[in-house]
Amino acid sequence: EKLLGDVTTRGQELALPLRGKLIPSRCCASIKVDFFCAVMSLAAEAFVSQIAAAEPWPENATLYQPLKEDQILLSDSASSLAVQTFLRMCGLPVQVSCRANAEYMSPSGKVPFIHVGNQVVSELGPIVQFTKAKGHALSDGLDDVQRAEMKAYMELVNNMLLTAELYIQWCDDYTATEISRPRYSSPYSWPLNHVLAYQKQWEIRRKMNAIGWSGKNLEQVYEDVSQCCQALSQRLGTQPYFFNKQPTELDALVFGHLFTILTTQLTSDELAEKVKSYTNLLSFCHRIEQTYFKEHDREGQFGSSRHSKSSLP
Amino acid sequence: MAEPMELQLLCWGGDWDLPSVHTDSLVVLAYAKFAGAKLAVKPVDWTWRTITASVPQLYYEGSTVTEPTQILNFLRKQSFNADYELTAKQGADTMAYIALLEEKLLPALLHTFWVDAENYANLTRPWFTSHSPFPLNFFVPGRQASLALSRILLTKAESPLLNITEVEGKIYSEAKECLNLLSHRLGNFRFFFGDT
């Protein structure tokens, strides 16, 4: 394709940053580039990595998430579990601290976030980069094609599973009224609890609208989840992890989401049923739970609460 | 006899050597070419459908399908299947790469066409204005531009990135990464899963 040919050469790292300017030529629109924007953000990233690399991983690293018993919702719980799994896979100790205002403390507004030394990093993507700068990485053994696949599958999980979780929590009226709004606003008193809950719901619904999910009904969302699980199941096949014998951040992310879906009680069990119909995904979750969580045998970690069951069925 | 059996596709017209200027319509047209489905293409330019219909839209024997993913599913059910020879794992890979494109490359595309001031004023808006009927040509480009901007801001602009220039930096670096990943995956083949 002409466009790709102009901007990159096959198999080589792209050296040009992009700030597009479209000029329709006789043949096709071509993009003229100039440096400014991309260089600024790359410089910021390099600076952060340099600071991160300066110190080893401390003992008192903390992970913050909303209150586990009363406040945390399905999507946040899934993201938090994914990060915890990733850190365990790297062998990095981290303490989990539950705070009611975790979302507001986070630098990007998303939970979970980790506080390491004097830096605060939120969300799985940046956390993976941060740990890589400190010298711990799970995906170093992958070649370029595999790394491309891994990133693509992580986007699939974020795009489909996470969006579906958000949809079910906030756009489905019954779930929103019975579960999401009461839980989200539980630490606050009247009238703040109503204001915050409705504000969050409005924000999520706007986002669903923008990406075109507001036209979907619940059945279609369940169908999408099912297709996503089918893709993951086919990719996993009979292997222990997604990329052969070594776990990667993709395994952590998939485990986080699937385990949370399987162990959280919602208004209906249909979501969990969709996941359960893929047996290799179920055994994948069991295996990771056994390997990384049971050995520490922490009662409080997966203690049963009103919202979640304690272990896999 | 031939008329009701034909698949009819509504989409935006073409320019600059492309069959259609609209990305989603191009997706459907390319798939139809690969699968060997004959589509009667009806461009919506210069009709009122520019603002009433959601493009692309497929008509077949009275049923209507919108959205590229739904249209591709529909074509597969009608046995126009370009993915027939893929293994299960490769089929799963297609879903993953589509998600990657949507998440990383699409915001940059939307930005280049609809949000960047120079491009919008010199290229996109004149084209869409000239291809829309009289009263609509005041509304159509503006509406598409505001939809694109709101999509970018709602999905990509999070707390530390408060103005549009920082968001731009982020989406372009993500697009660059996406293109690199696709380039690695493609390697030296003609297509992603072999030569057909």
Q: What is the pLDDT of residues A186-200, one digit of tens each?
A: 888 889 989 999 999
- When pLDDT is averaged across residues A152-179 and rounded to a whole number, the result is 89
Q: How far apart are CA B196 and CA B191, in angstroms?
A: 7
Q: Is the peptide bond before B68 cis (omega within 30 degrees of 0)?
A: no
Q: Report chain B residues whose CB lies below 8 A from the CB of A232.
A: 92
**pLDDT tier, A209 (very low <50, low <70, confident <90, very high otherwise):** confident
Coil/strand/helix, residue B66: strand
Restricting to B residues 40-59, those with a Cβ less than 8 Å away from any Cβ of A are none
Pick the residue with more confidence: A24 or A275? A275
Say whether residue B85 is in contact with chain A using an 8 A CB cutoff. no
- Name the least confident of A6-15, A294-303, B12-21: A6-15
pLDDT of A28 over the 60 cut: no
Q: What is the mean pLDDT of chain A?
A: 78
The answer, for B163 touching chain A at a CB cutoff of 8 Å, is no
Nearest CA in chain B to A163: B155
Beta strand spans in chain B (E)? 7-11, 39-43, 57-60, 63-66
The predicted pLDDT at position B133 comes to 77
Look-up of token digits 């030529």? A25
Under an 8 A CB cutoff, do B95 and A228 touch? yes
Q: Which comes out higher in pLDDT, residue A102 or A3? A: A102
Calculate how close chain A gets to B1, using CA atoms only, in Å. Answer: 35
Q: Is the pTM of this model over 0.90?
A: no
Q: What are B139-187's pLDDT values in tens digits?
A: 878 888 888 888 888 877 665 556 777 788 888 888 898 888 888 888 7
Q: Report which of residues A235 and B15 the model is more confident about.
A: A235
Of B88, B97, B170, the CB nearest to A152: B97
Phi, psi of A202 (to 5 degrees): -60, -40
Residue A7: the pLDDT is: 38
pLDDT tens per residue, range A61-76: 889 988 888 888 888 8
Structure-model confidence comparison of residues A38 and B139, the more confident one: B139
Cβ atoms of B118 and A21 within 8 Å: the answer is yes
User: How many other C-beta atoms can be found within 10 angstroms of the C-beta atom of residue A95?
Assistant: 12
CA gap A31, A21 in Å, rounded: 5
DSSP of chain A, one letter per residue? -HHHHHH--TTS--------EEEE-SSSEEEE--SHHHHHHHHHHHHHHHHHHHSPPPTT-EEEES-TTTT--HHHHHHHHHHHHHHHHHT---EEEE-TTHHHHSTTS-S-EEEETTEEEESHHHHHHHHHHTT--SSTT--HHHHHHHHHHHHHIIIIIIHHHHIIIIISHHHIIIIIHHHHTTTS-TTHHHHHHHHHHHHHHHHHHHHT-TT--HHHHHHHHHHHHHHHHHHHTT-SBTBBTB--HHHHHHHHHHHHHHHB--S-SHHHHHHHT-HHHHHHHHHHIIIIIGGGT-TTTT---SSB-SS--
Copy the structure tokens of residue A258: 């699937």
Angle between helices B23-35 and B68-77 (to 10 degrees): 10
Could you tell me if the ipTM is greater than 0.85?
no
CB B81 within 8 A of CB B70: no
Q: With 90 as the cut, is the pLDDT of residue A253 above it?
A: yes
Higher local confidence (pLDDT), B106 or B157: B106
Looking at residue B180, its pLDDT comes to 87
pLDDT of residue A3: 37
B159 interaction partners in chain A (CB closer than 8 Å) = 106-109
Which pLDDT score is estimated for A83? 92
At A34, is the pLDDT very low, low, confident or very high (cuts 50, 70, 90)?
Answer: very low
Return the residue in A6, A12, A235 with the most chain B beta carbons within 10 A, the one to mutate for interface testing. A235
pLDDT of residue A305 exceeding 80, the answer is: no
Interface with chain B: mutation pick from A4, A31, A32, A37, highest number of B CBs within 10 Å: A37
Asked if A160 and B88 come within 8 Å (Cβ–Cβ), the reply is no
Paired sense of beta strands A95-98 and A113-116, if any: unpaired
pLDDT at A77 over 70: yes
Tokens of B37: 């489905």
In angstroms, what separates the C-alpha of A300 from chain B's closest C-alpha? Answer: 32
Work out the average pLDDT over B43-52.
70
Q: Indicate if the pLDDT at residue B49 is higher than 80.
A: no
Read off the pLDDT band of A12 (50, 70, 90).
very low
Query: In whole angstroms, what is the distance from residue A141 CA to residue A136 CA?
Result: 12
Q: What pLDDT shows up at residue B158? A: 63
Q: Residues A98-143: pLDDT tens digits?
A: 988 888 888 888 888 899 888 888 888 888 888 888 888 888 878 8
Interface contacts (A, B; CB < 8 Å): 152
Tell me which of B195 and A271 has the higher pLDDT: A271
Q: Do A14 and B180 touch (CB under 8 A)?
A: yes
Q: How confident is the model over A288-293, as a mean pLDDT? A: 88
Q: Which of A32-41, A177-186, A215-224 has the lowest mean pLDDT?
A: A32-41
**How far is Cα A258 from Cα A284, in angstroms, rounded to an integer?**
10
Whether the per-residue pLDDT at A281 is higher than 60: the answer is yes
**Pairwise CB contact (< 8 Å): B99 & A155:** yes
Q: What is the pLDDT of residue A121?
A: 87
Predicted confidence at residue A82, as pLDDT, reads 93
Residues 6+ apart with CB under 8 A from A130: A48, A52, A114, A116, A119, A121
Q: Which pLDDT does position A4 carry in this prediction? A: 36
Q: B2 to chain A nearest CA, in Å?
A: 33
Cis peptide preceding A24, ω within 30 of 0: no
Measured in degrees and rounded to the nearest 5, phi and psi for residue B66 equal: -115, 180
pLDDT > 50? residue A24? no
Strand pairing of B63-66 and B57-60? Answer: antiparallel
Highest mean pLDDT among B20-24, B29-33, B157-161: B29-33
Mean pLDDT check: name the lowest of A166-170, A241-245, B97-101, B153-157.
B153-157
Whether B174 contacts chain A with CB within 8 A: no
Closest chain A residue to B114 measured between Cα atoms? A22
Distance CA B190, CA A74 (A): 42
Cβ(A172)–Cβ(A213) under 8 Å?
no
Which residues of chain A neighbour B105 with C-beta distances below 8 Å? none
Closest alpha carbon within chain A to B155:
A207
Q: Which residues of A touch B169 (CB under 8 A)?
A: 37-38, 40-41
Percentage of the residues of chain A whose pLDDT score is greater than 90: 11
Task: Give the nearest chain B residue to A35 (CA atoms).
Answer: B169
The vertex-B195 CA angle with B190 and B196, nearest 5°, equals 115
